[in-house]
Amino acid sequence: MTERLERLRARLAARELPALLVSTPTNRRYLSGFTGSAGFLLITAELALLLTDFRYVEQATAEAPAFHVRQLQRGLAKELAPLARELGLQRLAFEAANVTYQQWEQWQAAASEVGLELVPVIDLVEPLRRVKDAEELASIERAVQIADQAVQAVCEWLRPGVSERAVAWELERQMREAGAEGMAFALIVGSGPRGALPHAQPTEKPIAAGEPVVLDVGCVVDGYHSDLTRTICLGEPDPAYLEIYDIVLRAQHEAEACIRPGMTGGEADRIARDLIAAAGYGDQFGHSLGHGVGLEIHEGPTLRRESEDILQPGMVFSVEPGIYLPGRFGVRLEDLVVLEADGVRVLSQAPKAPVVRRSG
């Protein structure tokens, strides 16, 4: 944590910002270790304060040893002016992407009382989070493993006639029982034509034999997320499905084989996109190739057409090409990978097979 704080201070100094108020929960956790749901960090070149309410003082003190914990009695808006006066703050940067308009109005009123200038900033902490350290990677790998095992178990358990919601619940149950502290997002189960909706929420629709099913699952371990998509079919598939599956699989393989450190997210995206376009389905791959995963399910870097994010060793991101045929079906395959010096290492180990055939 101390090292993270020092890297942040270097960024503050480079932008000539004397102090930063951190209000984004994931940034607060990343910088301090504090896992509670409420509180702010106030960081200057010398100070590291964690401001939280009565509920969290003891927890914050234990979890964030690099920070001096202070109890907020009346809420930050009311305590900002005296705090700024006490600390002699003249300029305070705040995270523009994580403040409500109402909060900003209240802070602004308090700041003007004491001549404090509030400076909106974006992407000050987030870039630090892109490259994972060994401990973060271990948590992600555990979350990946739990999702892999759940998908594998559910593929063995699944029978025609089971509803999408029952499948989602079984996936969730498996992951919870394997130690997940939560789901990474509302799990996606889309069967038949519903698989053409990239973010289909599970319904009571029963899954029929021969229908492609998109399963997009993930869980949380130590605050870190996993994200895994497999497309399966019970029983006899439509030949069109197998053809599409093969294109998506080749696009994913190609991207995983060719992504290198130093590429931009846009260049990585293009590897898969060009292959899918050449097969005639460019317009049916309407989302990005991937996204960073960590304390948030979607974070930097972004692997989309126009992304100029430079891919660096230690980054963890998804590689998830898909083709969606409205009214018919969809196919998406998603792995989580970690970028290493010579290319990606694929973390996801759930089998990739277009057809799950039942023997009975």
Residue in this structure with the two tokens 């497999």, named with its chain if needed: 230
d(CA 237, CA 170): 24
Stretch binding Mn ion (CB under 5 A), from 130-138, 237-245, 310-318, 350-358: 310-318
Assign residue 210 a region (left: φ > 0; alpha: ψ between -120 and 50; beta: otherwise): left
**Least distance in Å: CB of 165 to Mn ion?**
21
Adjacency order of strands within the sheet including 290-292 = 299-303, 290-292, 316-319, 335-340, 343-346
Stretch binding Mn ion (CB under 5 A), from 16-24, 198-206, 312-320, 352-360: 312-320
Enumerate residues 214-243 that contact Mn ion by CB under 5 A: 227
**Least distance in Å: CB of 225 to Mn ion?**
9
Closer Cβ to Mn ion, 81 or 337, answer by number: 337
**Least distance in Å: CB of 298 to Mn ion?**
7
**Least distance in Å: CB of 227 to Mn ion?**
4
**Least distance in Å: CB of 288 to Mn ion?**
9
Closer Cβ to Mn ion, 4 or 298, answer by number: 298
User: Does residue 348 touch Mn ion according to CB under 5 A?
Assistant: no
Give the distance, in angstroms, between the CA of residue 338 and the centroid of all CA atoms in the same chain.
14
CB 105 within 8 A of CB 99: no
The 141-180 site mask, x for binding Mn ion (CB under 5 A), equals ----------------------------------------
Closer Cβ to Mn ion, 170 or 299, answer by number: 299
C-alpha distances (whole Å) from 102 to each of 83, 99, 105, 106 are 20, 8, 5, 6
**CA quadruple 151, 157, 161, 167: dihedral sign:** negative
Total residues at interface with Mn ion (CB under 5 A): 2
**Number of residue whose CB is nearest Mn ion:** 227
Angle at 98 between CA 94 and CA 104, to 5 degrees: 60
**Least distance in Å: CB of 35 to Mn ion?**
24
Strands 91-95 and 19-22: parallel
- Among the listed residues 318, 337, 338, 350, the single contact to Mn ion using CB under 5 A: 318
Q: Where does this chain bind Mn ion (CB under 5 A)?
A: 227, 318
